[in-house]
Amino acid sequence: MIVNEEDNYGVYKIDLEKFSQEQSKWQHDNYELELNRDHYLRLYKKKTERHLIDSVKYEFVNDPYSKRIRLEKDSTHHHIIADNPTLFRKPFNHFYYVFESSKYGNMFFEKD
């Protein structure tokens, strides 16, 4: 799969199959990300109602096969979006981002 800019835009939710059921369910019920065309990644807290908790500007980086995001560095960002995510591609138009949280470890966000 080759990921282009257009593929990246959208809402990302926690994948329930890549981590322990209890932890991934809790993360899924509490957090989601959105990548917008304005080049801001927005992190939302979903419990009770969806509300913005942080945002960070991003740019696209070209690697040999895909466009992935790189976040602006800022130590004040929420622990989930403090570092650049890793893009993982799978066959048949499927990919996901892994964010390394200092509190939760790896968080697997898949496009909704």
Reported confidence tier of residue 76, pLDDT bands at 50, 70, 90: confident
Partners of residue 31 on adjacent β-strands = 45
The more confidently predicted of residues 75 and 85 is 85
- Structural domain boundaries, residue 40: 5-111
- Work out the pLDDT band at 22, boundaries 50, 70, 90: confident
pLDDT category at 23 given cuts 50, 70, 90 is confident
Q: Averaged over 76-98, what is the pLDDT? A: 89
pLDDT given at position 8: 95
pLDDT of amino acid 93: 77
As a whole number, the mean pLDDT across the chain is 91
* pTM of the entire predicted model: 0.90
The reported pLDDT for the residue numbered 33 is 97
The whole-angstrom separation of Cα 15 and Cα 24 is 7
CATH number where 9 lies: 2.40.128
If you average pLDDT over residues 44-59, what whole number do you get? 94
**Count of domains in the chain?**
1
Average pLDDT over residues 22-44: 95
* CA separation for the pair 36, 49 (Å, rounded): 20
* Nearest C-alpha neighbor of 12 from the set 39, 40, 57, 44: 44
